[in-house]
Amino acid sequence: MATLACAVLTAVALGTAVPAMAAPAARSVAAAERASGRLPDLDPQILQRALSSAPDRVTGVLARVSGPDGRWAGTYGTGDIATGALVPVDGRFRLGSVTKTFIATVVLQLAAEHRVDLDQPVQRCLPNVLRGGYPPIPVRTLLNFTSSLPELTPDDLPTTPDGIVEHRFDDHPLAELVAKAVRHDRPFQEPGSMQVYGATGYYVAAMLVENLTGHTYQQEITNRILRPLNLRDTTAPETDTTIPGPHSHGYIAVPQPDGGTRLVDITEQNPGAGGMISTTADLDRFLTALFRGRLLPPAEQAELFTVPDVPYLGGSDSDPGHGRAYYGAGLMRATLPDGVTVWGKTGSTFGYTDGMFATRDLRRRLVYSFNPTNGGGNDLALVNRILSATFAS
């Protein structure tokens, strides 16, 4: 397959919205990560109540808690509204922006192999991708959301429920998405000077992987991560529109002439729209291997947890960084109200929202997925309840 012609995650999948996360406490991140001792005991009733706290906004919820400080797995709701089947505890789901963590890992592996320098401008490897007049965009800034690259707008891709249903099988190659995005104004001028969450940097990072290896980024993820870790229930599809194995269906509420809505099944969609597919068990294994250094040498692994000391564009005291950056290379950092710091990533695409989080020492890990009926996006209240029930119950 040609380097610039593979299917890719849509703007919804790689997302431009800031992930939902509880506002951090005033306690410093360093102090929280030095904290020792057990986390609060898991309370199955609190966890189950958290999963069932948004019955009007989701059709199904799935969560898995692992680690030396407690284990639990639970589900809520319906996996298939047509048959009434329950949510399968081992069900697969679309990852959306969690795919970014896999892409970041592959780019860092290529850096460890001296095939790319994180400080070099991406224009050296992709000379015809960014329009003339762009300043040098260091590769590292693609991964930590400080590249200054602009994002797609609602005028570039369908965002209404009717439009999402009609166009869910459309293919959007990487080059097309980047070309549409760079027509817009950049959010700030100097790369590396500010941070703002977005998708375009990761479209370019995926293109960089393809240019350097001669393979699609999905193939590189499969060969470098999925097979070595034996993640048998995780796939990085390029053309298959289905979800193999047990899974909950994804839905979107489409407005009707009578003022009501109708749930439309959008489980099947272009894999570009949903990115990778996985399970809670496989994501837990991936996160554990990543944190333990099985996938990256020490210098490159440190990039995951290195948060630039720069302002977050549009940030405030209520966000995870208190107005400052809170992303490393493919991971986000947040300190919960009780002072516990977690690292991980959220993701969302049509009909599916998920996330994976863990304490740095892996003593407690969380992977969740739910099926929102609003087409995708993080549900702040639901995510915060699941996080609090896991790490602060």
Place of tokens 């496989």: 282
pTM of the model: 0.92
The pLDDT of residue 28 is 40
With respect to residue 319, please indicate whether it lies within any of the assigned structural domains: yes
| CA distances from residue 378 to 32, 52, 91 in whole angstroms, order as listed | 25, 16, 20
The pLDDT of residue 376 is 74
Amino acid at 353: T
Range(s) of the domain holding residue 67: 11-391
pLDDT digits (tens, 9 = 90+) for 247-283: 999 999 999 999 999 999 999 999 885 689 999 999 9
With respect to residue 6, please indicate whether it lies within any of the assigned structural domains: no
With respect to residue 5, please indicate whether it lies within any of the assigned structural domains: no
The pLDDT of residue 52 is 97
The pLDDT of residue 72 is 98
Helix (DSSP H) and strand (DSSP E) numbers for the chain: 13, 11
With respect to residue 1, please indicate whether it lies within any of the assigned structural domains: no
With respect to residue 88, please indicate whether it lies within any of the assigned structural domains: yes
The residue among 347, 361, 381, 195 whose CA lies nearest residue 287 is 361
The pLDDT of residue 318 is 86
With respect to residue 101, please indicate whether it lies within any of the assigned structural domains: yes
With respect to residue 2, please indicate whether it lies within any of the assigned structural domains: no
The residue among 137, 131, 144 whose CA lies nearest residue 185 is 131
Catalytic residues: 97
3-state class of 76 per DSSP?
Answer: strand
The pLDDT of residue 338 is 84
The pLDDT of residue 114 is 98
Helices 380-391 + 44-51 axis angle, to 10: 170
Which residues of the chain are under the pLDDT cut of 50? 1-20, 22-32, 34-36
Give how many domains the chain has, as a whole number: 1
What residues contact residue 272 under an 8 Å CB cut-off, 6+ apart? 7, 8, 9, 10, 13, 171, 172
The pLDDT of residue 1 is 31
With respect to residue 3, please indicate whether it lies within any of the assigned structural domains: no
| CA distances from residue 153 to 115, 181, 184 in whole angstroms, order as listed | 33, 8, 9
b/e for 313-335, b at 16 or more Cβ within 10 A? bebeeebbbbeebbbbbbbbbbb
What residues contact residue 176 under an 8 Å CB cut-off, 6+ apart? none
The CATH number linked to 99 is 3.40.710.10
Q: Give the integer Cα–Cα distance in Å for 5 and 8.
A: 9
